[in-house]
Amino acid sequence: MKIRNEIICGDCIEILNKVKEPFADLIFADPPFNIGYKYDKYHDKKESNNYITWTKDWMSVCKKVLKPTGSFYIAIGDDYAANVKIIADGLGLFMRNWIIWHYTFGQQTRNKFARSHTHIFYFVQDEKNFTFNDSAVRIPSARQLVYGDKRANPAGKMPDDVWDEFSRVCGTFKERKGWHPCQMPEKLLTRIILASSNEGEWVLDPFSGSGTTAAAACKLGRHYTGIEISQKYVKESQKRLIEIHGMPHNGTRGILFENSHSHKTEIAKNNICLYSQCGGVDGDSAAD
């Protein structure tokens, strides 16, 4: 089965079980959270034990196809974040960060505090041998731009493990694809792909959804594989990839921080503009 630079329709567990050798340098997984979202083909309200078993199954096959030096990011909600960590420990993955993606336009509630975050786990296969391109994701520090501190690193600082630069992709946003109910922001995927892979390497998304991971990988000169159970989402994602062919990604390295008057200042946005070609590259691989 040819899977490189493809969005494939099917069940990720079944498809990845057929792959004989590791191929993925980076995996980003944003599975259904089991909270009742209305998807095209998937019922997002399993019995809890069944959902945890299913989570272990798909995480296991993802680990199987992850290269020894590969990285594995998982976005998950509050209800099952602890289970994902326990499963990862059992699989022998090493956690490098437990990132909190804090976003605006959170889900409003009446009888509890409004939920406005998602957990993003960052795991690696080998705790000493992995890709992390710090220079690709550094951001200007407050020391540099607010205080004029000469001790500041001119290369900038590493982002914190609470990411609040990326809003949810709301219905009125230009980036929003109206055919999918739950879309990740491309800027967030840009940061992950730049940090944990190199040009020419291979990025896998086992729950491709709106195709954001593939789109970002394509624009950044990486190979991609997306797996999606909905034929509709697959077709629309393929159209999206055709539309972005050869265009620059819309990533940023901006950051919000508090100045001395507790006002938020937005800095250093849109200071990356990378171009690449997507698709049409097939090499010799057991996973092709």
The predicted pLDDT at position 1 comes to: 77
Rg (CA), the chain: 19
176-205 pLDDT per residue, tens: 555 455 678 889 999 999 999 999 999 999
Residue 154: other Cβ atoms inside 10 A: 8
Q: What is the mean pLDDT of residues 227-246?
A: 86
Cβ atoms of 232 and 9 closer than 8 Å: no
Look up tokens 């944990």; give the residue. 196
Judge whether 12 lies within some domain.
yes
Judge whether 227 lies within some domain.
yes
Q: Determine the structural domain holding residue 234 and report its residue range.
A: 6-267
Q: How far apart are CA 170 and CA 90, in angstroms?
A: 36
Closest Cα to residue 131, out of 75, 185, 198, 67? 198
Nearby residues of 243 by Cβ (< 8 Å), 6 or more positions away: none
How many domains is the chain partitioned into structurally? 1
Give the least confident one: 40-44, 162-166, 190-194, 282-286.
Answer: 282-286
The predicted pLDDT at position 41 comes to: 66
Judge whether 275 lies within some domain.
no
Judge whether 214 lies within some domain.
yes
Judge whether 282 lies within some domain.
no
In 3-state terms, what secondary structure has residue 47? Answer: coil
